[in-house]
Amino acid sequence: MNSIILKPQKDKAIRHRHPWVFSGAIEKVIGFPGNGETIQILDSRNQFLALGSYSPNSQIRSRVWTFRKEAIDQQFFRQRIQNSIDRRNKFRQECDDSAWRIVHGESDLMPGLIVDQYNGIMVVQFLSSGVEYYRKDILAALKETTGINCIYERSDVDVRRLEGLSERSGLISGDTPKELIITEDNKKFLVQIATGQKTGFYLDQRVNRKIVAGYCAQKEVLNVFSYTGAFSVYAAANNAAHVVSVDSSSPALEVARRNFILNDLDVNSAEWIVEDAFQYLRKLRTQGRQFDVIILDPPKFAVTAKQVEKAARGYKDINMLAFQLLRPGGILATFSCSGGLSEALFQKIVADAALDGGVDAVILERLQQGLDHPIGLNFPEGAYLKGLICMRD
């Protein structure tokens, strides 16, 4: 089998069960592994550490499959998928939601594989060269394990280019509708799996939507980067006095309107603003308009660690504007889904935003992704979604 040999003193992360090997840690490549092929990972004394996929184009040169010597085949993936499903059974039994993430990449010991289930449909993302290499085995294992034949692929994301892969999207098997309706916390939402962001819906905010809605009763709410209005639906369903949803996508806001109708909410009691978020918030500041609750759930500003500095400026600007638009005693629910941005740095950015905005604030709650998006104990990068609920003095 082809192998990589690590440099002396560069095996600590692997020995602590971190699933990534960066290019700078590699002393030598033995053989000629192709993109995605399984290799042995050896320490500087040629001792076995793990089996992983090989990605010659990525800074993450290898992603670990297993720390044991075992076959990487369809049975391997079948067992990993079953373990992932079993891990979620308790949570799924406690509610009747119809949409869940059933495989969450590295944290479910399947680096680069994302599988979301919407009713009887699976939407998959193959984000690394390793899962791309074993694509057929993984798809067969998914069908066998879940009993679901209807699979749609949404591997149309930039991160595949870092792995030397082209983007891909489309129906894999079965028959999928252009849109479907899911239920979450007794609320209904339209999901467009072929054209929506990510796999069609932000399942990772499941718990946070309910928490934030608890602050919205009888309040004027501004939902920025609202997408299809899930936070807005939760706020309105919890008797918010007025909800303003802002997004740059007119089609997304049209779905948001339809989500209000689906949930028997008054569309005319809300505002729907198609505009750039930064420009619109500055316009509101000029107008002197203020809100009781502001929700900031922007897209990923930093895809890689190199982009964090630029992303930090964007997060600071948007949070500063939000603080200035809050009434005294108002609530800011602010999020970042940039994996390269640590929780500590995100808090510092929000603190600096309040300072530059000329307001004082305190943190009431810290939020993270839902339980179907677990965080590997030895994979802190898995804690990508960070949220703060702050109250302005």
Mark which of 49, 66, 83 sits at the end of a domain: 66
Q: Is the pLDDT of residue 94 over 90?
A: no
Residue 229 has pLDDT above 90, yes or no: yes
Please report, for the domain that includes residue 150, its CATH number: 3.30.750.80
297, part of any domain? yes
Q: Are residues 249 and 327 in the same domain?
A: yes
How do beta strands 270-274 and 99-104 pair?
A: unpaired
- Kindly state whether residues 223 and 293 are assigned to the same domain: yes
- Examine the domain organization and report whether 289 and 159 are in the same domain: no
- The enclosing domain of 347 has a CATH number of 3.40.50.150
31 in the same domain as 80 = no
Q: What is the pLDDT of residue 178?
A: 82
Confidence grade of residue 302 (pLDDT, cut at 50, 70, 90): low
Q: Are residues 322 and 229 in the same domain?
A: yes
Does residue 197 form part of some domain? no
Per-residue pLDDT, 304? 60
Q: What pLDDT is recorded for position 306?
A: 67
Segment 2-9 shows an average pLDDT of 97
pLDDT of residue 96: 83
Catalytic residue selected from 150, 216, 337, 390: 337
CA–CA gap between residue 177 and residue 193 (Å, rounded): 8
Query: Tell me, what CATH number does 54's domain have?
Result: 2.30.130.10
Q: Are residues 245 and 278 in the same domain?
A: yes
The answer to whether 150 is a known catalytic residue is no
User: Which of residues 17, 46, 66 is at a domain's end?
Assistant: 66
Q: Is 159 exposed, middle or buried (0-12, 13-18, 19+ CB in 10 A)?
A: middle
Tally of domains in the chain: 3
Residue 190 counted as domain residue: no
324 and 219 inside one domain: yes
Shared-domain flag, residues 50 and 93: no
Nearest in space to 117 (alpha carbons), one of 99, 131, 135: 99
Domain membership flag for residue 189? no
Residue of 376, 385, 382 whose CA lies nearest to 109:
376
- Dump pLDDT digits (tens) for 352-373: 999 999 999 999 999 999 999 9
Domain assignment present for residue 182? The answer is no
Same domain, residue pair 46 and 141:
no
- What pLDDT score was predicted for residue 305? 61
The parent domain of residue 294 ranges over: 202-392
Indicate whether 14 belongs to any domain: yes
Same domain, 287 and 347: yes
* Percent of the chain with pLDDT strictly greater than 70: 98
Give the Cα separation of 46 and 50 in Å (integer). Answer: 12
Sign of the dihedral through C-alpha 67, 73, 78, 84: positive
In a domain, 183, yes or no: no
Q: What is the pLDDT of residues 138-189, one digit of tens each?
A: 999 999 999 999 999 999 999 999 999 999 999 999 998 888 999 999 999 9
304 and 233 housed in the same domain: yes
pLDDT in tens, 249-261: 999 999 999 999 9
Residue entry with tokens 């009887």: 120
Q: Are residues 62 and 80 in the same domain?
A: no
How does strand 187-191 pair with strand 180-184?
Answer: antiparallel
Query: What value does the mean pLDDT of the chain take?
Result: 95
pLDDT band at 24 (very low <50, low <70, confident <90, very high): very high
Confidence of residue 338 (pLDDT cuts 50, 70, 90): confident
Q: How far apart are CA 202 and CA 195, in angstroms?
A: 13
Mean pLDDT of 192-209: 95
Residue-level pLDDT at 176: 82
Cα dist. 119→116, 180, 389 in Å?
10, 9, 31
